[in-house]
Structure 1
Amino acid sequence: MTCAELLIRLLRDTYGVDTVFGIPGVHTVELYRGLDGGEAGGIRHITPRHEQGAGFMADGYARATGQPGVCFIITGPGMTNIATAMGQALADSIPMLVISSVNRRDTLGRGQGRLHELPSQQQLTAGLSRFSYTLATPDGLPDALARAFAVFEGARPGPVHIEIPIDLFNAPVAKPARWQRSTMAKPAPDPAALETAMEWLSAANRPLVLLGGGCVSAPDAARTLVEALDAPTVTTINAKGLLGRDHPLDLGANVSLPPVRKLAKEADVILAIGTELGETDYDVVFDDGFELTGRLIRVDIDAEQLARNQYAELALVADAGLTLQALAARCAELPRQRDGEARVTAAWQALEMEADPAFAPYVPLFEVLRESLPDAILVGDSCATTYAANHLVSQPAPRRFFNASTGYGTLGYGLPAAMGASLGRSDLPVVALVGDGGIMFTLSELACAVEETLPVVVVLWHNQGYEEIRRFMDGAGVPRLGVDIQAPDFQMLAAGFGCMSKRIKTPEELASVLRNRPLTGPILVEIDAFAWSEAVQPETHNSPDSH
């Protein structure tokens, strides 16, 4: 078989890949020769309208399913276009396999002005991936893919880039000696370190647990552990839903707010599992006010991460899920209670989010979404509704809430990532939370959503520009420039794509739209932010000029 045919067979038969995202180009046509699979069945191909959209779709697919998102990308501009999506996936440790073409081996690095030529695609992607590899011979392909999936399954995941010179696609290659993949066992925690951790936690008077996105594979163990410890628990943005909806020990992703920071500072033992302890989870107010004074136990699959951001008195290099299971098995019957639920209740009462003008307009929005679509996956762009959802929303299970406001913090993520989630979890409704600024980065992907009949609900919060940056400019005394941008007629644009759309102003209208939403295609729900705020809290209504 050819190298290109071998690639498809390995992805499908060895690694169970059922979907790829990509835009065919003259350099990648051979990848499509065997993609339909013939009688054996093929791999579903989704055609976004931009390679950045392909990367975001693969990201959303991976977060919703737990399986790597796979992209086929052309040489040169395809790689520069997908770079932003790779950066977001790298920041959040999302498994993404980017297979690209590259110019012929005898022309690499020679600067001859070849089609799509870059001095070095590998150098371009090296800082955006766990590793970037150039295939030198066709028989090296099985090993390259094995390395990629070893990273996805046994190490800290993230994007992996494999580039194949175009003269190798048709090169003959022998079938591999075996099609089976290795069984990858994740690194387990050290038993002695576990015993030390349990001694500290058992003796703690005011324990605190910090659970990050690395924990999403073990929700049952997470609940068992925090309940046995009776410990207030922070679930970061990527861990939302880990304890279930409205768990009495769950503080949500609110550790940047004063009442939760007070709990953190008072904790005598802190257990942090699968979390970077990074700024966009613990200091979104950017004042360096997150402080831990107790003994810190950290668990991460990446040893280097254990040395970043916070000093850990005890650091375990291990898989977060396995560690949760091991700790849960050791703490089934701890001898005393620590008033964890009462402390969490007091913190929520002190937060008073429903009365806070910064959150109050969004409370009815998420109440309607919760009542109308209780099992929905919520996927957010960097926008006002997402920032509020990070603090307000509680989900029934992990992998039901993710967005681009953490880590890399790109714009344009929400719509295509929601489409990827819908492709991966067609059994669940999916809602994209976007703003009128960010959606313009990837609005063209509505065409793909219509083409694939994806029933994504696109909730567009229209506040006439870049509201978050307006506030920062005003706070810094900087004149508003570049933030009061002109928006298009979104209703007309949606109609042009063949997408149903509605413009609404009240929670009641939103509930009606959700009851009557299409199930065989997307709908764009445009919310007039200022009319909505007037409807839900008229006494504190703000116009664009009053921020």
Structure 2
Amino acid sequence: MTEHAAASKNTVPQDARTGAQLLVEALAAHGVDTVFGIPGTHNLDLFAALAASGIRTVNPRHEQGAGFAADGYARLSGRPGVCITTTGPGILNAVTAVAQAYSDSIPLLTISPGLPLAHPSGGNGYLHEVKDQLGALEAVAGAAWRIESLADIPAAVTRAFALLTGGRPRPVHLEIPLDLLPAALPADGPGLAAPVPVLRAPLQPAPQAIRAAAALLQGTQRPVIIAGGGASHAAAQVLELAHLLAAPVLTTANGKGIVPTDDPLFAGAGIHEPALVEYLAQPGAVLVAIGTELAPADMWAGPVPPDTPVIRIDVDPHGLGANATATVPVLADAAVGTTALTAALRTAGAEDGADVGAEAAAGSAPAQPTVQQTTPVESVGLPESAGRLREAIRAQALRTAGEHLPVLEAIDRATAGRAVLAADSNQASYYGALGLLPAHRPRSLLYPSGLGTLGYGLPAGIGAKLAEPEAPVVVLEGDGGIMFTVSELACAAHLGLALPIVVVDNGGYGEIRDEMVARHDPVQAVDLPGVDFVALARAMGCAGEAPEDAAALREGLQRALAADRPTVLHVRW
């Protein structure tokens, strides 16, 4: 029997609460209804407290899968995702998921025990001992700290949620010494504060910054908007500004769906096509970047031209200067800052009698649009140059999509255009789905855009389906990437999720193979022996099909969306 197992048998006074109970109570007070994690010797007190709390516990088959599932839950729901692991190998297995969440600004909270309070600083070979567990998390998370007393637990959780829900979200890690979890504190113990949910007002822009941004846009002939993941909650506001300016809108991967694909002002998802850089380089172009760092991982064709005037609306001070100098920086919440800019443009247009877009010409501000509302291109007055931009970007996307287009069409038709796609880092996703799969709502593409992790799609799809069970969630994987987290098929089957998993098989790591060929290098270590994914799926409790063409894939997807278990659809054409 381990020391911890013996300690956990101590009787807790009826009027006391353990550290584990305090932690779970604090999570519940902040609205947590689901956690993803795997029990281990050092976190059993946490799982006992969770069982008594009413919080749903989901058990993926690997801690990296738990982290990705919590990430997918957070992306679709807009609420923090929570992942609980044990010490040492447990939390280290989740580090990649934490790094991915940091890269894509996802509110992911990881919690793990740490070594006991009195553990020797030089180590003594304790079970799961790591030289510097907290340091490993500090290296990849937005914030990570160790709780040092029972009385600190409620405040630590409040601090974590303040970081997760305010400003630019980054992952947070809490480490709690394993001997604090079973320790008891009287209910009325000194210094024990009740957990307090975080209430935060959106960051307001400086009026002078809004006036400067409006002045820069007045009279411009080539306004263009790029909306990133930081604007996902500001879809209506972005759409209203776009229609006021008659400006084409592009989105990053994480911003896809902010403007519906069928809106006349939508110019493309993904800001990687050369046509965008060429458009921005022309005289008269002004870029409005909302909630995006304009990262090289998004702008494959090159950065914003240095002479292009840029208005940046961002809640993160660092984001105002990353990758492109802001002519007018607006430090503000995306929704609040965009609303203020729209109001300033309308006021300026009314004062000088100028037409600021078709809606301003009507003489009154329209009602707040929803993301479903669109305005016919004739009434918006889309400039001819903007129309050409949209067509050029679509043409470039079609050229790179290649053989993936039938897969995308099957997914779109099977979901009636409402797909929530949990995508992996594979060619069918970044060359195909990113630019060409229609989207009509924010956060409908869950994609590891920054870190580019393999194995993300399947566990992220599980988390998304649990966050919104009625959503038609589809996973899009490659035959190489899915093997990184293929064990989560068993988790999805255990949960009975109606989750289609499309595996596009190109015989290995296709992107790296193509890069080797382009470099004239020997092609090696990229061709993988074939896996019978249908048999593998069935062995793990899922259904499995091998559709022979797009029509069969569409029919298989429709069956999968109504099934009582996950379905793997192995595509080899």
TM-score, normalised to structure 1's length? Answer: 0.92
**Alignment match of 2:267 (pick from 218, 227, 251):** 251
**Alignment match of 2:298 (pick from 249, 261, 281):** 281
Q: Alpha-carbon deviations, 1:302-350, whole Å to 9, x = none?
A: 1122222111122122211221222233345751459545333312333
Q: Map 1:102-121 to 2 at 5 A.
A: 102-107=114-119, 109-121=121-133
Query: Which one is further off, 146-155 or 340-349?
Result: 340-349
Aligned-pair distance for 1:194? Answer: 0.8
Query: Structure 1 522/248 Cα, relative in aligned 2: closer, same or farther at 3 Å?
Result: same
Q: Distance in 2 between matches of 1:247 and 1:108?
A: 62
Aligned to 1:359, the other structure's residue is in SS state helix
Q: Which residue of 2 aligns with 1:362?
A: 404
Alignment partner of 1:53 is 2:53 = no
Q: Alpha-carbon deviations, 1:70-118, whole Å to 9, x = none?
A: 0111111012100111110000000011110111111153221111001
Structure 1 contact 216–321 (Cα < 8 Å) conserved:
no
Q: Distance in 1 between matches of 2:20 and 2:404?
A: 49
**Alignment match of 1:187 (pick from 191, 194, 203):** 203
**Alignment match of 2:313 (pick from 299, 302, 317):** 299
Q: Distance in 1 between matches of 2:444 and 2:398?
A: 26
Aligned-pair distance for 1:212? Answer: 0.6
The gaps in structure 2 that reach 5 residues or longer are 1-16, 350-354, 358-379
Query: Structure 1 254/447 Cα, relative in aligned 2: closer, same or farther at 3 Å?
Result: closer
Alignment partner of 1:346 is 2:388 = yes
Query: Structure 1 138/342 Cα, relative in aligned 2: closer, same or farther at 3 Å?
Result: same
Number of aligned positions between the proteins: 521
Q: Which amino acid aligns with 1:359?
A: A
Structure 1 contact 353–359 (Cα < 8 Å) conserved:
no
Structure 1 contact 384–467 (Cα < 8 Å) conserved:
yes
Query: Structure 1 342/485 Cα, relative in aligned 2: closer, same or farther at 3 Å?
Result: same
Aligned-pair distance for 1:352? Answer: 5.4
Structure 1 contact 238–402 (Cα < 8 Å) conserved:
yes
Query: Structure 1 108/66 Cα, relative in aligned 2: closer, same or farther at 3 Å?
Result: farther
Aligned to 1:252, the other structure's residue is in SS state strand
Q: Distance in 2 between matches of 1:296 and 1:71?
A: 38
Q: Distance in 2 between matches of 1:503 and 1:75?
A: 40
Aligned to 2:184, the other structure's residue is in SS state coil
Alignment partner of 1:317 is 2:360 = no
The gaps in structure 1 that reach 5 residues or longer are 532-547
Q: Distance in 2 between matches of 1:371 and 1:122?
A: 47
Q: Which amino acid aligns with 2:155?
A: D
Aligned to 1:297, the other structure's residue is in SS state strand
Q: Which residue of 2 aligns with 1:400?
A: 444
Structure 1 contact 68–97 (Cα < 8 Å) conserved:
yes
Q: Map 1:137-536 to 2 at 5 A.
A: 137-175=149-187, 176-266=192-282, 267-283=284-300, 285=301, 288=302, 290-332=304-346, 334=349, 335-337=355-357, 340-351=382-393, 353=395, 356-373=398-415, 374-387=417-430, 388-404=432-448, 406-517=449-560, 518-528=562-572, 531=573
Structure 2 contact 61–487 (Cα < 8 Å) conserved:
yes
Q: Distance in 2 between matches of 1:45 and 1:8?
A: 12
Aligned to 1:361, the other structure's residue is in SS state helix
Aligned to 2:297, the other structure's residue is in SS state helix
Q: Which residue of 1 aligns with 2:49?
A: 34
Structure 1 contact 268–293 (Cα < 8 Å) conserved:
no
Q: Percent identity?
A: 37
Structure 2 contact 280–286 (Cα < 8 Å) conserved:
no
Aligned-pair distance for 1:177? Answer: 4.1
Structure 2 contact 304–324 (Cα < 8 Å) conserved:
no
Q: Distance in 2 between matches of 1:378 and 1:96?
A: 19
Aligned to 2:264, the other structure's residue is in SS state coil
Q: Distance in 1 between matches of 2:570 and 2:396?
A: 23
Q: Distance in 1 between matches of 2:325 and 2:73?
A: 34
TM-score, normalised to structure 2's length? Answer: 0.88
| RMSD over equivalenced CA pairs, Å | 1.8
Q: Alpha-carbon deviations, 1:407-426, whole Å to 9, x = none?
A: 10110001000110001011
Structure 2 contact 226–288 (Cα < 8 Å) conserved:
yes
Q: Which residue of 1 aligns with 2:5?
A: none
Q: Distance in 2 between matches of 1:77 and 1:228?
A: 53
Aligned-pair distance for 1:149? Answer: 0.7
Structure 1 contact 224–332 (Cα < 8 Å) conserved:
no
Query: Structure 1 395/493 Cα, relative in aligned 2: closer, same or farther at 3 Å?
Result: same
Q: Distance in 1 between matches of 2:259 and 2:397?
A: 26
Query: Which one is further off, 130-139 or 170-179?
Result: 170-179
Q: Alpha-carbon deviations, 1:399-451, whole Å to 9, x = none?
A: 111212x1101100010001100010112011011000000000000000000
Query: Structure 1 77/343 Cα, relative in aligned 2: closer, same or farther at 3 Å?
Result: same
Q: Which residue of 2 aligns with 1:544?
A: none
Aligned-pair distance for 1:186? Answer: 2.4
Aligned-pair distance for 1:292? Answer: 4.7
Aligned-pair distance for 1:351? Answer: 4.0
Aligned to 1:27, the other structure's residue is in SS state helix
Structure 1 contact 248–341 (Cα < 8 Å) conserved:
no
Aligned to 1:511, the other structure's residue is in SS state helix
Q: Distance in 2 between matches of 1:166 and 1:88?
A: 27
Q: Distance in 2 between matches of 1:470 and 1:301?
A: 39
Q: Distance in 2 between matches of 1:254 and 1:184?
A: 31
